[in-house]
Amino acid sequence: MSVPGPLHFLVLGALMFCISVAGLFINRKNMIVLLMCIELMLLSVNMNFIAFAHHLGDATGQIFVLFILTIAAAETAIGLAILVVLIRKRDTINVADMDQLHG
Amino acid sequence: MPLTPSVLVVLLVAVPLGFAPLCMLLNRPRAGWLLSTLAAVICTCTAVILAAGLADGGTVLHYFGGWAPPWGIAYRLDAVNAPLCVLIGLYTTAVLCWGLPSLTRELAADRQGVFHVCLLLNLAGMLGVACTNDIFNMFVFIEITSLSAYALVALGPDQRSLPAAFRYLLMGSVAASCILIGIGYLFALTGTLNMSDMRVRLGDVQHTRTAVMAFAFLTVGLGLKFAIFPLHGWLPAVYTRAPSMVAALFAALATKVYLYAWLRISVQLLDAELLFDELHLQVVLSVLAGAAVLFGSLAALVQSDLKSLLAYSSIAQMGYMVLGFSLLTYSGLEAGFLYMFNHALIKCTLFLAAGNLVLRTGTARLAELAGLGHAMPWTATILSIAGLGLVGLPPTAGLVSKWYLAGALLEAGQWPAVLVLFIGSGLAALYVWKMLRVLWLDPPRGHTVVEAPLPMLLVPLFMTVAIVGFGLYSRFPLAWAGRAARALLVPS
């Protein structure tokens, strides 16, 4: 069995990205799943960064991953905070309900 | 430490960033307002000093920690971004001076501290995006701007502000991922993040598929942020449901800063002409921009809410700007920058005046605003004159920008785009007429409202004078647009 190279990790990253995009479009039930998809999308980007950094033998790419993780955490925190207030007010996390409120 | 230009560039970002935690610690509504206004005034003055120094060309550079490029983070100010910093400072100051009564009405006192923290972070983020010369640093500032923007929208008075903010967060995060992938590819290709250094190293590898993909991802990501059709889904709800102050600020600045970032990356960092050919982007962008103009204007026509009418009109106006920039010629870029300048002024004025109506009536629904022109004559006059600017009628600045845009399009032989420009202006005339008819001609609904308080009138009134002033005497914005276009096309 061959040793996984940068291409394998890039393909893995691309697959994760596709799953998250599919999740964003297909999911109509649960807003938390939307947040998870966003998180997965950022993780797939991280995978790219780490693969590149390893391939180039440069640690900078891995340092960026830490920055990106921090930003992703901040985003999720804000998203969850909005959700909590929304649930308190509307008692629902259904995406369809959000669309009704939209506009 | 002497206040040399290179120190002033840092102050520009450091002042709002430093004032934000101070606001949090004080957590008093009035003190928060004073602090953020002070920070905005300091930023404006600093930006004016810097821009005045750069009027004859040249650049200001700052290397953080003395690390020479390409190792450290560098800030770089030139004829393109120095005036943008002035605009960012100026509009934030104007909106803050206008907004205290509106804020008091729309937000509980215990939330106003947080509001000012977010506003300052937003200011710092936008100035950072404008100043930085490091592409990863630019991403971080884009995120600072966006994260604070989500919170600002979520603070809106309407129950529907929360879904609007959530939608904005989702779209913004997808955009952030796309921007990151683009930056990652460029980093993998060149091994550097300093934009000047990256430009040199990209010389031989411009045409590789990696560079093209990076550009495509960056265009989609930033396109989502500056709301080019069909990636505009977040914009109407955000402009409609955010607090009036935030809506005015976003209308003036939010999309423009990202448009600047896209221009900086596509024109100055990458070889735009080559990439535009590779991706047929000139055709794609002008078709999308034309669709934005038509869709935005038609959608604005059928809105029953003043703020969402203005929001859809913003989508159309972004289309005009992209139409100019997509030409990649000197006159196209000049027209784009001029449009950016004038539209920021006109749309901010309109949203401020709409905020005045919301302050007195509590709603922006057109049906509820019937006949208010007689009760609030000053606000309605401001809306009328700025509305003329939106259509592009004399003697307003809107005419000047449309005139130059049409000139640039004709020069490039883009007849269909000129046609779209005329149709768009006709549709704009219809939706502005719809707004004005409701305000002036419809019978009043028996409201007992009075004119908005003085500061809320003075700021938009002053801006209306500027709209007419720049319409009659447009040498100043034209000079800036020309300098910016030249600096973009011939980087030093």
pLDDT digits (tens, 9 = 90+) for B456-490: 899 999 999 999 999 888 888 898 899 888 888 87
Q: Name the pLDDT band for A25 (thresholds 50, 70, 90).
A: confident
Q: What part of A 75-94 touches B (C-beta under 8 Å)?
A: 75, 78-79, 81-83, 85-86, 89-90
**Identity (one letter) of the amino acid at B165?**
A
B354 found inside a domain: yes
Q: What residues make up the domain containing B428?
A: 280-492
Instruction: Identify all chain B residues contacting A34, using CB atoms and an 8 Å cutoff.
Output: 170
Residue of A nearest to B184 (CA): A49
For the entire predicted model, the pTM comes to 0.92
What 3-state class would DSSP assign to B305? strand
Q: Name the pLDDT band for A1 (thresholds 50, 70, 90).
A: low
Q: How many CB pairs under 8 A join A and B?
A: 97
pLDDT of residue A101: 52
Total tally of structural domains belonging to chain B: 1
Cα distance between residue A34 and residue A40, in whole Å: 10
Cα distance between residue B400 and residue B396, in whole Å: 7
Cα distance between residue B153 and residue B229, in whole Å: 21
Instruction: Identify all chain B residues contacting A56, using CB atoms and an 8 Å cutoff.
Output: 188, 191
pLDDT of residue B386: 93
Confirm if B386 and B467 have CB atoms less than 8 A apart: yes
Cα distance between residue B126 and residue B145, in whole Å: 6
Residues 6 or more apart from A18 whose CB is under 8 A from it?
A: none
pLDDT of residue B383: 92
B108 found inside a domain: no
Confirm if B341 and B477 have CB atoms less than 8 A apart: yes
Residues 6 or more apart from A43 whose CB is under 8 A from it?
A: A16, A72
Confirm if B459 and B98 have CB atoms less than 8 A apart: yes
Contact call for A83 and B166, based on CB within 8 A: yes
Confirm if B447 and B375 have CB atoms less than 8 A apart: yes
pLDDT of residue B274: 73
Cα distance between residue B444 and residue B438, in whole Å: 9
What 3-state class would DSSP assign to B258? helix
Nearest beta carbon to residue A38 from set B136, B173, B188: B173
Confirm if B76 and B133 have CB atoms less than 8 A apart: yes
DSSP bridge partners of B428: none
Signed CA dihedral, B304, B305, B309, B314: sign only: negative
Query: Chain B closest CA to A101's CA: distance in Å?
Result: 6
What 3-state class would DSSP assign to B370? coil
B388 found inside a domain: yes
pLDDT of residue B337: 92
Q: Which residues of chain B have pLDDT under 50?
A: none
Contact call for B177 and A98, based on CB within 8 A: no
**Identity (one letter) of the amino acid at B64?**
F
- What does DSSP assign to residue B235? H
Cα distance between residue B391 and residue B26, in whole Å: 44
Confirm if B371 and B444 have CB atoms less than 8 A apart: yes
pLDDT of residue A100: 58
Cα–Cα distances in angstroms (integers) from residue B441 to residues B306, B384, B436, in the given order: 16, 13, 8
Residues 6 or more apart from B99 whose CB is under 8 A from it?
A: B244, B245, B248, B355, B456
Query: Chain A closest CA to B246's CA: distance in Å?
Result: 17
pLDDT of residue B247: 93
Nearest beta carbon to residue A74 from set B147, B160, B188: B147
| C-beta contacts of B416-424 below 8 A and 24+ residues apart | B416/B290, B417/B286, B417/B289, B417/B290, B417/B323, B420/B290, B420/B293, B420/B294, B420/B323, B421/B293, B421/B320, B421/B323, B423/B293, B423/B294, B423/B297, B424/B293, B424/B294, B424/B297, B424/B316, B424/B319, B424/B320
Instruction: Identify all chain A residues contacting B177, using CB atoms and an 8 Å cutoff.
Output: 17, 38, 41-42, 44-45
Contact call for A102 and B163, based on CB within 8 A: yes
pLDDT of residue B95: 94
B81 found inside a domain: no
Say if residue B7 is exposed, middle or buried (CB neighbours under 10 Å; 0-12, 13-18, 19+).
middle
pLDDT of residue B190: 84
Cα distance between residue B370 and residue B365, in whole Å: 9
Q: Does residue A103 carry a pLDDT above 60?
A: no
Confirm if B245 and B99 have CB atoms less than 8 A apart: yes
Architecture of the domain defined by A6-98 = Orthogonal Bundle (1.10)
User: What distance, in Å, lies between the first and last C-alpha atoms of chain A?
Assistant: 55
For residues B207 and A16, which has the higher predicted lDDT (pLDDT)? A16
pLDDT of residue A18: 92
Residues 6 or more apart from B421 whose CB is under 8 A from it?
A: B293, B320, B323, B402, B405, B406, B409
pLDDT of residue B104: 87
Neighbours of B244 (CB within 10 A): 27
